[in-house]
Structure 1
């Protein structure tokens, strides 16, 4: 009924009613349009179209709100994933830095160990060379002694052979040989 009152007020306020001609005639196009409009509004009200439109708009608003909530949730998840990946990246970078530092320290330690090993190797080679030199020196000294002894024995033999008799010569030779034997051993 309320709608009918609104329609009557709209009819009374129309420009056609103000013109003074007969408004409520089927020959008046304004009246026909007004009747069609009122009938259209009545059909809409009868079938409860405004409530259905409102309900559809509410559903659409709820759907949009749901999508916004979902988008907000997805955004929060994306931010947490981004933070997680940034944290992992920092951890990986720190680990890589530690690995590089450890590798440098290992390389430095290996270089120092190599220096120590080279020094030891040089010392061993020097010791071996000194031993060879000492051995060669001892061998040369022994060889010189042997030759000196042989030369001295030969010289003594010649001197004794010229100055001595056969008996004296045999005695001296035996004494010299025993002396040489004692000195060599």
Structure 2
């Protein structure tokens, strides 16, 4: 059995392929394993970053909700304070108006009393003057006129 050169080339080629394939297979497997590990690490890092981002988002949403509640609370408190201030101002204004009204009423009453007193005084003065004139006319010739004059003169002292 004699083998030809083609056979020996084929055998040499198979041996060459086997000899080259083993180290290439190991290098290719190692390279693929390394690439798989890199991809796995990137996926794990991406998942970790995603979880961290979700955690941060939840934290910020909670902070935003708390801030919104605080703003709402502050608004309600400000409205309550404004209403209380309005009510206090209204009460103060009403009290001031009542005092002014009472003061004006007192001034009017004092003016009325002064006017009434002045009218009374003038009425008395006019009545005395009229009485004096009548008595003088009727008693001008009477000897007791001096007595009457003295009584008339002292009459205002008794009426006031």
TM bucket, shorter chain: 0.7 to 0.9
Q: Does the C-alpha gap of structure 1 residues 33 and 113 become closer, same or farther in structure 2, counting only changes over 3 Å?
A: farther
TM-score (norm 1): 0.70
Q: Does the C-alpha gap of structure 1 residues 111 and 23 become closer, same or farther in structure 2, counting only changes over 3 Å?
A: farther
Looking at structure 2, the residues matched to 61 and 108 of structure 1 have their Cα atoms a distance apart, in angstroms, of 69
In the other structure, the counterpart of 1:17 is none
5+ residue gaps, structure 1, are: 1-21
Give the Å deviation of 1:100.
2.2
4+ residue segments displaced more than 4 Å: 30-34
Q: Does the C-alpha gap of structure 1 residues 91 and 102 become closer, same or farther in structure 2, counting only changes over 3 Å?
A: same
5+ residue gaps, structure 2, are: none
Q: Does the C-alpha gap of structure 1 residues 179 and 70 become closer, same or farther in structure 2, counting only changes over 3 Å?
A: same
Q: Does 1:40 align with 2:17?
A: yes
Looking at structure 1, the residues matched to 26 and 107 of structure 2 have their Cα atoms a distance apart, in angstroms, of 118
In the other structure, the counterpart of 2:147 is 168
Three-state SS of the structure 1 residue aligned to 2:4 is coil
Q: Does the C-alpha gap of structure 1 residues 136 and 50 become closer, same or farther in structure 2, counting only changes over 3 Å?
A: same
Give the Å deviation of 1:151.
0.3
In the other structure, the counterpart of 1:10 is none
Structure showing greater relative contact order (alpha-carbon pairs closer than 8 Å, 6 or more residues apart): 2
Give CA deviations for 1:68-112 in whole Å, capped at 9, x if unaligned: 221121112111101101211220121122122212322332332
